[in-house]
Amino acid sequence: MLSHPTDKEKKNCFSETNFETVYQYLDNKITTQELIFYAHGNYEIYLIRENEIKIKYRGWSMAIISKERGIFALAKSKSDNEKQLKKANEIFCQLVVETETNGLKPNASHQQTTCYHGG
């Protein structure tokens, strides 16, 4: 069961540097444990290409996290899109915290970028 998000997890923490760190962390977990995806609570995290991560919930693609473009929700309605975008950002920030807990630190020399709303 996932714990409640910290203040850091509630904020937008997407950056290209954080993406690279999270991608490396997920790739390591998936490869060493011979998994198809990384399970994060009820969510499935897939590495699509070397620059994209997909989040699925109950078999449905919920969001894409792109190194170049940020986090995009895939819902059709605006209200669902906003909820899914918020949840995807929360999951990404939790993964950033996990990487830090496991000794992977993002390079502080890169500036944080904003999250783009997809739709």
Q: What is the pLDDT of residues 40-59, one digit of tens each?
A: 999 999 999 889 999 999 99
Tokens encoding 21: 């760190």
Reported as a pLDDT band with limits 50, 70 and 90, residue 4 is: very low
Q: How confident is the model at residue 22, as a pLDDT?
A: 97
Reported as a pLDDT band with limits 50, 70 and 90, residue 26 is: very high
Rounded Cα gap, residues 31 and 38, in angstroms:
10
The residues spanned by each domain of the chain are 7-101
Q: Residue 116 pLDDT more than 50?
A: no
Q: Are 38 and 50 in contact (CB under 8 A)?
A: no
Tokens 């909820």 belong to residue: 83
Q: Residue 7 pLDDT more than 90?
A: no
Q: How confident is the model at residue 11, as a pLDDT?
A: 61
Tokens encoding 64: 């894409």
The amino acid present at 73, given as its one-letter code, is A
From the CB of residue 110, how many other CB atoms can be counted at a distance below 10 Å? 12
Note the pTM of the prediction, 2 decimals: 0.79
Q: Are 2 and 21 in contact (CB under 8 A)?
A: no
Alpha-helix residue ranges (DSSP H) falling in the chain: 7-10, 16-32, 78-101
